[in-house]
Amino acid sequence: MRSGKKLIVALDIYDGSRAKEIALKIKDEIFAIKVNWPVVMANGSGIIKELSEIAPVLCDFKIADIPNTNRLITMKAKEEGAWGIISHSFTGTDSLEAVIAESKGKMKVFSVVTMSHPGYREFMEPLSERMIEASLRCGVDGFIVPGNDYSTIARVRKSAGDLLLAATGIGAQGGNAGKAVRAGADYVIVGRSIYQAESPLSAAREINMEISSEN
C-alpha cells in the first residue's frame, strides 16, 4: 500500500522499541518514517536499518557542518539503508555538495530552506530564495517546507519545479495536511499528532482522510 501514500511519520522519541511498535501498527498508512537525533542517539544508528525493514527512512539530521563532516554523517545514513537525508543549505554549496556526492543517487537529499517555527524568520527567511537557487544548482532531490505556511509552500513549489517537497509543522504546529498538499507538498511529515495519540493508527488514518478531502 506504499504507492500513492503522502504521509511520513516523524518518530521523534527516544524509545526504539516504541518507535518500531508504532511503525508496525501504521505501516500501511504511511509512505515513510522520519527519524531525528533523539531515537538515533538513544539506540545507535542501527535503528535506521531496523526501521527501514518496515518502511523507507528519512534521516532528519539537518546536517550543517564542514564538507567532510557532512560526508561522514551521510555515509553512515547510507550504510544503514536510509531512503533519504535532510541537510541545511546555509552552510554553503560545498557542504551541501558533499552530502549529494556521498549519497551517490542511493538516497534522496532534501535541503532545508524554510522551517516551521517562528524563529526561522530571524535569519533564514531573508535568504530563503538564495538558498533555494543554490540548492537547485547543487542538484538536490527536494526541499523541506513549512506545512503551517501554505503561501511559502506555494512559493517554494514555483521555484522547485518537479522536485519533491516535504512539509513539516503539521498538527502540533498548526498545519493542515490536506491544505499543505493542495499548496504543493508531495509529502506531509507528522509526529506528535500520531505518536502521542491514544491510537496512532486511527490518527494516521484521520490524517490520510484529511489529505484525501483536499484532493
pLDDT band at 46 (very low <50, low <70, confident <90, very high): very high
The set of cell numbers assigned to 163 is: 522536485
Q: How far is CA 25 from CA 48, 50, 200, in A?
A: 17, 15, 8
Decide if 1 is inside a domain: no
Decide if 46 is inside a domain: yes
Residues 181/6, Cβ–Cβ less than 8 Å: yes
Decide if 183 is inside a domain: yes
Split into its structural domains, the chain has a count of 1
Decide if 2 is inside a domain: no
**Lowest-confidence region among 17-21, 56-60, 125-129, 130-134:** 125-129
Catalytic option among 27, 62, 76, 78 = 62
Decide if 205 is inside a domain: yes
Decide if 137 is inside a domain: yes
Catalytic residue at 20? no
**Lowest-confidence region among 24-28, 135-139, 170-174, 190-194:** 170-174
- CATH number of the domain bearing residue 201: 3.20.20.70
Domain span at residue 200 reads: 7-213
pTM given for the model: 0.91
